[in-house]
Each structure stands twice: as C-alpha cells, then as structure tokens.
Amino acid sequence: MTSTDLGGRAAPPAAGPGAGQLRRGRGRLGAAGGRGGGGIVPYLFLAPYLLLFGLFVLAPSVYVIWISLHDWDFLLPGKPFVGLQNYLNLFKSGTVTSEPFWQAMTATGKFVLYSVPLLVAVPLAVAVMLNQRFPGRNFFRAAYFAPYVLGVAVVGILWRFLLDPNIGLVNHMLDRIGITTDIPWTTQTPWVWAALVGPTVWWTLGFNAVIYLAGLQDIPRELYEAAKVDGASRWQQFRNVTLPGLRPVLVFVVTITILASANVFGQPYLITQGRPGRETRSAIMLIGQEGLRDFRMGNAAAMSFLLTLALMLISVANFLLFRERKER
Amino acid sequence: MGKDRNTNQGPLNRRQFLGLGAGAGASMVLAACGGGTDAPPGAGGGGGGGGGQFGEGKEYTGPNVSLAFWNGFTGGDGPFMRQLVDQFNSEHQNIKVSMNVLRWEDFYPKVPTAVQSGNGPDIAIMHIDQLATNAARRVVIPVDEVATALQLQQDDFAPAVWSAGVYKEQRYGLPLDIHPLLFYYNQKEMEAAGISEPPKDRASFEAAAKELKGKGAQNPFWVTSTWPAHLMWWSLIHQFGGTPYNEDGSQAQFNSDAGVEALTWQVNNIQQGYSPKNVANDAQAVAFRQGKNALTWDGIWMMNEWAKVKGLEWGAAPLPQIGDQPAVWASSHNFVVTSQAQKDPNKLQASKVFISWISDHSIDWAKAGQIAARASVRESPEFQELEVQNIAAQQLDYVKFPPAVPGIGEVTAPTFELAVNEAVLGKKSPKAALDDATSKANELLAANKKKYGG
C-alpha cells in the first residue's frame, strides 16, 4: 500500500532536504565510523525509527504483496490463491479491473502533469518575493502559508460550493463582471482539472514556499554582491545565483510534489466525486473504493503495488536526472 | 448503495466533516491490520436451538451490560435517535446503550473491520440492500429468534420490506422504517403558474414544468448528475415496466427498453430547458431551498431540511407516474445484531430488549422523516397526524427494493449510478451509457456469485 495520508500531501520524509546535505553528512559519518570502529551505537540510534518503519511500512508492504496474490476478502473464510491473476487482469483489456485502473492511472497522471509545474514554479515566485525586505513581510509569509493548515475536507467542500456550475460564487462573480456564464467547473472536462488543480495550488503552495524560503536564506549574500559588482541584472542574478543555489532544494521539492500529487485523493473525492463519468477518479480513490468499499482487497493490493512501483521509478528517474546535470 | 442521505444535504455538520478525512484514513489502517485471523467469529451460530441465544421473553434481568449501537444518522435524524436512546437508557437501569454515528459511506467499510476486531457495534442499523452482503460476510447474525420472541410478524409489516430482510431462509434485519423518494414542489411557484394541485402523471407533470418555465423560475425541475439521479432512474425503470435486475439478481437488465426510456426522459428534461445543464452534487437541493428549483424528487427525510428554511412554502406528493405503472425507489433501515455481540449472551438478550423498545417507539422515529415499518404504528392516530409521512406512505404498495443478493449494493456505484451521470452530463447517450453499465454489472454479479458462493 502506498503510504499516504489520503489528503494528497505527502509527509515530509525524515531525511534532511537535498542531495547536497546528504553528501556532506555522509562524509562526516564516514569519519566518525573510522574513529569509533563502527560498533552497535549507530544502529541503536536508528533502532526506534527502524522499528516503526518495519512495523508500519515494511511489514504491511510485504503483506500487500501477499494479499495481491489472492482473491482476498478479510471476512470470508475462503481466500483463494490466484497467483499473478490480479496483476494479469490489470494488463489484459476487457477485464473488470483493467479499464478502471488505467483510467484512474491516467487521471492521476494528468493531475500530476497539470499540478506539479505550478506547484514547483508558483511557490518559487512567492518565496523569492517573500525573501525581499519590505514592511509586513511576516504577515504575508503567514498569509501564504495559512491555507496549508486546513484539512482536505474543508478545502474540498469549500471549493465544491464555490465552483458549483449553477449555484457557485465563482460563476456568479464571473457573471457579474460580464465575462461568461455557467462554466461547468465541477462537471465537465477540461474545467474539472482547473477545479482540482487550482484549489490544490492555493492550498499547498505555502508548504513548498517555506522550503524554498529556507533554501534562499542559505544562499550566501556575497554571491549576490559579487554578481552585482559584475553588473548582473536581477534576472541574471536569479538565473545564475539563485537557481543553482537552490538545486538541492529543488530536487527535494520536485520529488515530494510529484509523490504528493500522485497520491491525490481528497480533492477529486470531494470536489468532483471522480466525475464526469470516472474521468477524475484518481488511483488512490479507486484503490480505496475497490478494497474498502467493495471488499476486493486482492485487486486493490495489486493496484496499490503497481502504483507504488510506478512512483518509485519516477522518483529514481527524478534523482538521476538532477544528478546527471550536476556532474556535468 | 448505502449512500442514503448525507451527500445530498447541503451544509455538512461537524461530525460529517470530521468523519471525512479521518474515517477514510482510519479504515485504511484498520483494513491493513485486520486481515490476520481467518475464521470469522460467530460463523454458523445462527441455528441457535433450544432456549435460544437471545433468551426468553422481552425482558432483560441479568447483570449490567453495555451495548454499542452504530448508525449513520448524521443529518437531522440523528438527534431523534439520540433522544430515543437516552430515554431507553433512563428507563433501563441495567442496560447502557452508547450510540456512535458515522457517515454511511464510512459506516459500511468500517463496521466489518470493527466488528471483527471486537471494537465495533453490538447492534447497528443497516440498509436493506446491505443485509445480504453483511450476512454472507458474517458481520451480522440471524435474528429470527428475536422476531419470534417479540412476536413481530409479517402481517404487521409491508410485505416488500419484511421479505427483503431474509437471506438464505434466515432473517437478518428487523425493519425499523421505510424511506421512499418523494415529490416536493414549491407552493408559491405553483400558484404563480396557476397550477392548483401537484401533477400526478406524465402529461400533467410535463405541462406543469412547461408552465412553470414560462412564469418565473427559469429552470423548474433540476435533474442532477449525481445523487439522487440514479434513484429517480431506479423509480422510472420500474414505472416503464422494467426491472434493473432479473428475479434472482444474477443478471442486470439496465439497458432494457424501459431502462433506456427512463434515462431518456431524465435527459430530455435538460434538453427541454426544464433543468439547467451540469447540475452538480447537492445543487438541486440547495436550489430548492432557495426557490430556484420548483419541482424536485428527493428522499422523504429531506422534509425536515425544507422545514428549516424560512419563507419556503413547499408541499409533498407521491412521485408522479411518468411511465405505465406507479413505482418508487425506497430503502429501509433495519436493526441488525453483529457477530461481536454473539460472544456475550447478556449482550444478545439486552439487544433484543433494545430493538423491541425502539420498535415500539417507532412513532417518535417517524417524526424524523420516515415511514414506520409497522402497520400498527402507521395506523395509529399519532402517525395519521404526520402529514408528509402519510403522503409518502401512500406509495408503500409499490416501493421497489433491490433483490437480496450479497454484494448488490456495491454494483450500484460503478454501473447505473455512473451511467446516469454520463448521460445527464451529455457524455454518452442513455442507451450507450446503460449498455456499458449492464455489461459491467453482469461481470460484477458473476464475480460476486463466485465470491459468495451463489
């Protein structure tokens, strides 16, 4: 099962942000290891987390694979072993599970494609702005972060009513200023994607912005001063000082944003109910329905495993991509 | 599907809010942990035999016992049930019932896991289309004995609702109420359009919609793309002489002529402009509250929601007969006893007392916007005073429940509920949408048959 809080945001991983810091850390650890001769101490420090990790991540993950090989309903005495049939069904067209699954994967892919660029770029712009010195800066920092403290239920219900095609405030306002009437935000493609991505950006941009902000504050002032002396314009400073300085942070942000977006559940569940048809039903939504509502846990586990596999591949590709550039 | 009422009500209350995220998350975790034990408790204990596990008579004299009672009454009906439970507790010193309310969408996934882990309900309310599923999965146990001990008999219940609680010749549910769809209209709008009485058939209904559209309300009959549009369709396919499933529930026939005609009629209301396009979740009910939607088909329980709206003058009538015969979708809340309670004979006996007491007080429950399941209650002078409930009760002879087949509730959402959505939003023609839904449903029914052993 993918580890997700179902809200569409991923929990920040326990590791510190950025490949750069990891590299620095490794050097230090190596030195310490050389001095102390290894021993049990580092493992003792790691043990509490490893225990929890093993109990709540590793063991269930293995269990999911086991479940996925069965026709599994945890309440029925018979759980026939079906081998790879659940997986084969997902790859064979015309089965009960394959079409919904690939439709859900496509929907998830679309959501990732539409939301990630915005969730990487917009918070960066916000962070750069909030890094300037101006009166009321702390207020704006808080204001941009504020929506993030809301739960997905609040965000979902709020935007469902704001964006309702017939009774929503957004269409009412658009009508008032005479732009157009009755945009079917929550019922028709492509508008539904705006109705899902827009609120998501509004909701979570604060989180990425805070990470960027921390990264920005790590970039030495001297570099900017040197750039200024060399006559660099603001854009050139951004391009040649800020962006390279942010690279490790950027890798982290891109990775967790892809993962969070791929785990989207609450927004389509509440704002569009996966409509129209099944076009906005995300993978997590389908897995939840299949396994927990319809009690076909074998199928759900197989889907879950494939989703996890896909996300792992994407994350690895992501790291490779950024690392390659760095070494060049 | 057990999606009874909540998704349809505009403002969610606090409990519903909290339930949303937490419920889904928690049930994921539960499901992951709960898979360990193989043999479900209480398997095959149904026979009872001898004096019976529920004990004799209507009283409970044993030691103090507490009962966990779960239901999905998150709307205006919740306080009514809570009050009944409080009254029961104050009248019974040795039984303490604690009530837990969840959204129905969370309730059905959660109860099986909770019952299996021993932290679930001892007694619960379930919808009629969920009884067979939960019986087959041994979440609930047979209650024939309770029916006998309490002298509950078929003559006291509407036949449709009484027989729908039986799965494999054993009774699993004791009906508390029946809740059909109802036709609500805005009185002011009707008067403005010069319509003196609520339309009863296709001609008068369509004439009324046409008349209303001319006078005032721009869109007099909002056909929603989500809940309860598929319940309208469920009513209409029966009206046009079809049935969604064959008799034993092994085959879907959504795309029969009757089914297509039913859905086509729904879509036509949009094409005629009686309904706006793209009506999303809850919008039709909100519009009715605001007086923008003059005619609406919605659950009987919505009556208390309309009553809360100041200045809304509304009336209720039986669902108009659009097709060749009268028919209406309905569901029923049933008492069930879970396999968890079976571990403790005291709990079983106490639950019998509780069910009996609530059933005897079902007139107070009817006030929450329900038709009492028992004829003796419906015929009481107290029930006769409940105007809307009485109008709804006129439909009892032709309420249509799904067949009692395990897993039937799960078939709804991915099949005809989806088809109605696609057709109403103009994504597919009614016929194409129902064709797809039918083949999908047949696959699901076959899978269910294999899973639950026919």
Do B432 and B303 fall within a single domain? Answer: yes
Q: Is residue B250 located within the same domain as residue B347? A: no
The share of chain A scoring above pLDDT 90, in percent, equals 72
The beta-carbon neighbor of A157 closest among B12, B34, B287 is B12
Residue B137: which of A6, A75, A186 has the nearest Cβ?
A: A75
Above 80 in pLDDT, residue B43?
no
> Percent of chain B at pLDDT above 70?
89
Q: Token pair of A289, please?
A: 């329905």
Q: What is the pLDDT of residue A320?
A: 87
Query: Which residues partner with B66 through β-bridges?
Result: B96
CB contact under 8 A, A187 and B286: no
Q: What mean pLDDT, rounded, does chain B reach? A: 87
Smallest Cα distance from A111 to chain B, Å: 20
Are B102 and B165 part of one and the same domain?
Answer: yes
Torsion, CA B433, CA B327, CA B291, CA B6, rounded to 10: -70
A46-73: pLDDT as tens digits: 999 999 999 999 999 999 999 999 999 8
In chain A, residues with a C-beta closer than 8 Å to the C-beta of B425 are: 187-188, 275-277
B54-67: pLDDT as tens digits: 877 778 888 999 99
ipTM above 0.90, yes or no: no
Question: Is A109 part of the contact surface with chain B (CB cutoff 8 Å)?
Answer: no
For B140, name the nearest residue in chain A, comparing CA atoms only.
A75
Which of A151, A164, A277 lies at the smallest CB-CB distance from B21? A151
Cβ–Cβ contact A167 with B under 8 A: yes
Question: 87-106 in A: which are within 8 Å (CB) of B?
Answer: 96, 100
**Count of A–B CB contacts within 8 Å?**
138
Q: Is residue B177 within 8 Å of B372, Cβ to Cβ? A: yes
Q: What integer pLDDT is reported at residue B26 of this predicted model?
A: 38
Classify residue B77 by its DSSP letter.
Answer: T
Claim to verify: residue B301 and residue B224 sit in the same structural domain: yes
In a domain, B233, yes or no: yes
> Is a pLDDT exceeding 80 seen at residue A328?
no
| Residue written as token pair 């510190």 | A16
Q: In the predicted model, is pLDDT for residue A258 greater than 80?
A: yes
CATH number at residue B129: 3.40.190.10
Q: Do B61 and B127 lie in a common domain?
A: yes
- For residue B10, pLDDT beyond 50: no
Q: Give yes or no for A164 touching B (CB within 8 A).
A: yes
CA distance A161 to A177: 20
pLDDT digits (tens, 9 = 90+) for B186-225: 999 999 999 999 999 999 999 999 999 988 778 999 999 9
pLDDT: is A39 or A201 the higher one?
Answer: A201
Domain range A19-327, its CATH number among 1.10.10.10, 1.10.3720.10, 2.40.160.20, 2.60.40.10: 1.10.3720.10
Q: How far apart are CA B130 and CA B406, in angstroms?
A: 8
**B349 within some domain:** yes
pLDDT at A8 > cutoff 50: no
Contact B43 A186 (CB under 8 A): no
Q: Is the predicted pLDDT of residue A256 greater than 50, yes or no?
A: yes
- Listed in sequence order, the residues at least 6 apart from A150 whose beta carbon sits closer than 8 Å to its beta carbon are A203
Nearest to A309 by CA among A85, A90, A19, A50: A90
Of B24, B40, B428, the CB nearest to A288: B24
Q: How far is B126 from chain A (nearest CA, A)?
A: 15
Question: What's chain A's average pLDDT?
Answer: 86
- Cα–Cα distances (Å) from B105 to B7, B72, B108, B126, B172, in that order, read 9, 8, 6, 12, 21
The pLDDT, as a whole number, for residue A179 is 78
B contact test, residue of A70, A150, A162, A294 with most B CBs within 10 A: A294
**How far is the CA of B45 from the CAs of B51, B60, B111, B138, B143, in angstroms?**
14, 21, 19, 10, 11
- Chain-chain contact of B290 with A151 (C-beta, under 8 angstroms): no
pLDDT per residue over A179-227, tens digit each? 777 899 999 989 999 999 999 999 999 999 999 999 999 999 999 999 9
- Does residue B435 contact residue B257 with C-beta atoms inside 8 Å? no
Question: What pLDDT is attached to residue B454?
Answer: 58
Is the confidence at residue B263, as pLDDT, over 60?
A: yes
Partner-chain residue, chosen from B32, B112, B418, that has the shortest CB–CB distance to A60: B32
Decide if pLDDT at B15 tops 70: no
Residue of A nearest to B34 (CA): A74
Q: Which residues of B touch A156 (CB under 8 A)?
A: 20
Residue A297: is its pLDDT beyond 60? yes
Lowest mean pLDDT among B49-58, B88-97, B128-137: B49-58
In a domain, B128, yes or no: yes
How far is Cα B115 from Cα B30, in angstroms, rounded to an integer? 11
Helix (H, G, I), strand (E, B) or coil at B203: helix
CA distances B203 to B206, B209, B294, Å, are 5, 10, 17
Model pLDDT for residues A122-131, shown as the tens digit of each residue: 999 999 999 9
* Residue bearing the bigger pLDDT, B35 or A276: A276
Is A121 a residue whose pLDDT tops 60?
yes
Task: Please judge whether A160 and B286 are an interchain contact, meaning their C-beta atoms are less than 8 angstroms apart.
Answer: no
Structure tokens at B43: 């398997």
- How many structural domains compose chain B? 2
Higher-pLDDT residue of A145, B27: A145
Same domain membership, residue B430 and residue B284: yes
Cβ separation B278–A293 shorter than 8 A: no
Contact B214, B399 (CB under 8 A): no
A9: closest CA of chain B, how far (Å): 13
Selected residue with higher pLDDT from A107 and B106 = A107
Interface membership of A218 toward B (CB under 8 Å):
no
Whether residues B137 and A76 touch (CB distance < 8 A) is answered with yes
All residues of chain A having their beta carbon less than 8 Å from the beta carbon of residue B35 are: 63, 67, 72, 74, 297
Q: How confident is the model at residue B365 (pLDDT cuts 50, 70, 90)?
A: very high
Distance (Å) from the alpha carbon of A310 to chain B's nearest alpha carbon? 21
Predicted confidence at residue A294, as pLDDT, reads 87
A186 touches chain B (CB under 8 A): yes
* Better pLDDT: A163 or B150: A163
- Rounded to the nearest angstrom, the minimum Cα separation between A192 and chain B is 12
| B277/A73 Cβ within 8 A | no
Q: For B342-377, b where at least 16 C-beta lie within 10 A, e where not — what string?
A: beeebbbbbbbbbbbbbbeebbbbbbbbbbbbbeeb
For an interface test with B, which of A72, A89, A103, A166 has the most B Cβ atoms less than 10 Å from its Cβ?
Answer: A166
> What pLDDT is attached to residue A321?
85
What is the per-residue pLDDT for B32?
37
Structural domain for B208, as ranges: 180-329+404-452
**B404: pLDDT confidence band, cut at 50, 70 and 90?**
confident
User: How many residues are present in chain A?
Assistant: 328
- B contacts of A6 (beta carbons < 8 Å): 21, 24-25, 28
Contacts B31 to A, Cβ<8 Å: 74, 291-292, 297
* Mean pLDDT value across residues A246-265: 93
Q: Is A55 on the interface with B (CB under 8 A)?
A: no
Contact A165 B443 (CB under 8 A): no
pLDDT tens digits along A68-90: 999 998 888 888 999 999 999 99
- Whether B57 and B131 share a structural domain: yes
The pTM of the full predicted model, rounded to 2 decimals, is: 0.84
CA distances from A19 to A23, A249, A320, B255 (A): 6, 8, 11, 58
CA-closest candidate to residue B302, choices B443, B22, B258, B293: B293
Q: Indicate the pLDDT class of residue B42, thresholds 50, 70 and 90.
A: very low
| pLDDT tens column, B151-200 | 888 888 888 889 888 999 999 999 999 999 999 999 999 999 999 999 99
A36 pLDDT band (50/70/90 cuts)?
low
- What's the confidence (pLDDT) of residue B158? 82
Interface-testing mutation among B3, B13, B17, B28, with chain A (most A C-beta atoms within 10 A): B28
